[in-house]
Amino acid sequence: MESLKDYKENWEQFIYEDELKPTINPTVRLSWLRSKKMGIDPFRTYGKVKSLDLEKYKELINLATPLTEGLYSIVEGSGFMVIICNEQGQLLKVIGDKEPLNHANTMGFIEGADWSEEEMGTNAIGTSIVIDSPLQIVAEEHYAKVCQSWTCSAAPIHDSDGKIIGVLNMSGPREKVHSHTLGMVVSTVKAIEYQLKLHENMQNILMMQKFLEAATNNIDDAIVITDTQGNIIISNEQFTRLLGINKDQHENKKLSAIFENQILTSTNKVRFLDKEIYIKRQDLQPSIHCMVSKIPIYQDKKWLGSMITLKEMKKVRHLVNHLTDHRAKVSFGEIIGESRSFLDKVQEAKLAAKTSSTVLILGESGTGKDMIAQAIHNASDRKNKPFISINCGGIPRDLLGSELFGYEEGAFTGAKKGGRQGKFELADGGTLFLDEIGEMSLEMQVLLLRVLQDREVIRIGGQKVISVDVRIIAATNRNLRKEVEKGSFREDLFFRLNVMPIELPPLRNRIDDIPLLVEFFIRQFSKNLNRSMPVIEPGFIHALMKYSWPGNIRELQNILERTMNKSLKDSLTSQDLPNEIFENTDQHKHEETIVLDRNELKKQAIIHALKKNKGNILHAAKYLGIARSTLYRQMKKFNIQ
């Protein structure tokens, strides 16, 4: 994700030097080119206000306003505005907080203003009309400088024939960019479009119910809407699932007939967000640990009722930590492989488990780095403590800091009341697994290095020093030495991490393990599909061993799962495999030759071991460093008597 500084540099290079960086969003790139071709002044300071026949858009305004007010009530007080526009990009209605509205007036962002791309250049409203698709424009992605203090999210509104009849836009401070904002706009637009399809004489309450049902059922949270008396108007499917009751058991009842919690059942206009409570039902069922928010709903300043959202705490923890719990689930006994190249690395991992040193696991994607990390934790003296995993490449860099170090209440807009622990605190006494460490930004590398040196963290927005006892295991598919040479990875951090490096071999370098892996996965999929274990024909294994496996074990697992889902036979042959296994076979000739050479060497090694130990199988197996069962299998394979 690009930083605000990157957006500014991209814009200045294009405006002053006609240079377009390859990292620029393609939609923005094309819009900038159109804007410059149309001769739009990027330094204009005020929008153009044109005459507007509001009567022409009365139906759209009347229909969309209650829904946009409901959308605004969710973001009220956070500096956002919600705007309804016509099909030409003219502003029809603007709803927002006082301060952003005043700022909007100074730039001509008012009702009647023309915010089409032809008039203002690249912006969410006008460009979404041009491309006929939802769009978020951040800071200096706007072509006109006057718009660059905003982050804007817009989506076209279509009639039943698919024709654009308007646009819904949400604008807020540039630093509050978030993909969820566009998602909220799109959900509201879908509700508006749905309402347009309803008969114009349908009662407003039915229209609201249909909107709420359509909108809330597409949200993961449990949602219930009540009127001012606490009567349940509508709830979504997640609400009924959370309670474990049928819809007819709570519809048209008072909320107080279901819950004992006063905070939920009180009939007032109170608004609160993310309160952690135990929901107590009126029956004898166990309490439900939830994160609850209550938001009053208004129309024309009249309080209509409240929307209550509930998240189960176990789901909240999953979202926060990006895992189901804090336990490592894999041990060394569950790791499959008998090839020498792989067993050597497993042995290195077992040695690492006996220490508290930092481990750096290297290897291509799909080689099982996360499984080795879990196994190391479970074989260490920290096995009864938390194992916390975080994907450094899967979290936006702006959020990674708060994920790792936590934050205090009020540290930033939207910060949870009471603050929140970071991954280092959650992993105290245990292991923190930093996956894809090579994707971490240089700024974050500095902070991480400090924690590794001092074993202390300070939450974002806080001053208190918190001591942490955390064992670090990092993993990457990048060559960190080359990244250090390129300047994208700090050398001092690399040396801190590279205490006990373990480089896992790709699957193409441990071909002999494929039969074991195939048997394991096929047995696993058979159990999941409630089927008998099929016979695995030699041709099936042979075809898999000839393939180069660029995706490693993860690719093998996916191929086998796909094969099992498609085949209902009692045996698996090479004909059951997808075509990709047999494509470009010429490129595998070299690997096949290596496999054949290796097999010949292995055969000669077994013969030598048997001769040296006078045919004693146990002693020969120990001499070779393999299990006796493995030696029997290899002797059978090479027809050694």
Q: What is the CATH number of the domain that holds 38?
A: 3.30.450.40
- Tell me the per-residue pLDDT of 600-609, one tens digit each, with 9 for 90 and over: 767 877 887 7
- Contact yes or no for 76/97 (Cβ under 8 A): yes
- Asked if the model's pLDDT at residue 597 lies above 60, the reply is no
Bridge-based pairing state of the strands 500-503 and 535-536: unpaired
Last residue of a domain, one of 165, 197, 229: 197
Encoded tokens for 524: 């696993």
Instruction: Based on the fold, state whether residues 186 and 278 are members of the same structural domain.
Output: no
Bridge-based pairing state of the strands 456-458 and 465-467: antiparallel
Encoded tokens for 123: 């912006």
Q: How far apart are CA 447 and CA 142, in angstroms?
A: 32
- Asked if the model's pLDDT at residue 91 lies above 60, the reply is yes
- Contact yes or no for 550/584 (Cβ under 8 A): no
Last residue of a domain, one of 583, 601, 618: 583
Instruction: Based on the fold, state whether residues 180 and 240 are members of the same structural domain.
Output: no
Domain harbouring 266, CATH code: 3.30.450.20
Instruction: Based on the fold, state whether residues 412 and 560 are members of the same structural domain.
Output: no
Q: Choose from 74-83, 311-320, 575-584 the range with maximum mean pLDDT.
A: 74-83
Please identify which residue in the block is written with the tokens 């299998």. 633
Instruction: Based on the fold, state whether residues 34 and 84 are members of the same structural domain.
Output: yes
Domain harbouring 610, CATH code: 1.10.10
Instruction: Based on the fold, state whether residues 474 and 544 are members of the same structural domain.
Output: no
Taken in order 318, 322, 326, 329, the sign of the CA dihedral is: positive
Instruction: Based on the fold, state whether residues 514 and 546 are members of the same structural domain.
Output: yes
Q: How far apart are CA 205 and CA 299, in angstroms?
A: 12
What DSSP string describes 221-269? SEEEEEETTSBEEEE-HHHHHHHTS-GGGTTTSBGGGTB--HHHH--S-
- The whole-number pLDDT of residue 53 equals 86
Encoded tokens for 126: 């006008």
Q: How far apart are CA 343 and CA 626, in angstroms?
A: 10
- The whole-number pLDDT of residue 201 equals 43
Bridge-based pairing state of the strands 456-458 and 571-572: unpaired
Instruction: Based on the fold, state whether residues 123 and 272 are members of the same structural domain.
Output: no
- The range of the structural domain enclosing residue 399 comes to 322-503
Instruction: Based on the fold, state whether residues 544 and 625 are members of the same structural domain.
Output: no
Q: Which of 51-65, 220-234, 508-522, 556-570 has the lowest mean pLDDT?
A: 220-234
Mean pLDDT calculated for residue range 1-27 = 85
Instruction: Based on the fold, state whether residues 415 and 434 are members of the same structural domain.
Output: yes
Last residue of a domain, one of 197, 228, 250: 197
Please identify which residue in the block is written with the tokens 């009939």. 267
Domain harbouring 485, CATH code: 3.40.50.300
How many domains, the chain?
A: 5
Instruction: Based on the fold, state whether residues 423 and 511 are members of the same structural domain.
Output: no
Three-class DSSP category at 44: coil
- The whole-number pLDDT of residue 221 equals 81
Encoded tokens for 64: 């969309």
Q: Choose from 23-27, 198-202, 393-397 the range with maximum mean pLDDT.
A: 23-27
- Amino acid present at 109: F
Nearest-CA neighbor of 368 among 557, 550, 555, 553? 553
Instruction: Give the Å distances, CA to CA, from 548 to 48, 559, 582.
Output: 61, 13, 10
- Tell me the per-residue pLDDT of 614-629, one tens digit each, with 9 for 90 and over: 888 888 887 776 788 8
Instruction: Based on the fold, state whether residues 577 and 595 are members of the same structural domain.
Output: no
- Tell me the per-residue pLDDT of 268-309, one tens digit each, with 9 for 90 and over: 888 888 787 777 766 656 677 788 888 888 888 888 888 888
Encoded tokens for 36: 């410059």
pLDDT confidence of 310, banded at 50, 70, 90?
A: confident
- Tell me the per-residue pLDDT of 314-360, one tens digit each, with 9 for 90 and over: 566 445 544 445 678 899 999 999 899 999 999 999 999 999 999 99
- Amino acid present at 165: I
Three-class DSSP category at 502: strand
- Tell me the per-residue pLDDT of 506-516, one tens digit each, with 9 for 90 and over: 999 999 999 99
pLDDT confidence of 122, banded at 50, 70, 90?
A: very high
Q: How far apart are CA 381 and CA 315, in angstroms?
A: 29
Instruction: Based on the fold, state whether residues 514 and 498 are members of the same structural domain.
Output: no
- Contact yes or no for 77/272 (Cβ under 8 A): no
- The whole-number pLDDT of residue 209 equals 58
Three-class DSSP category at 149: coil
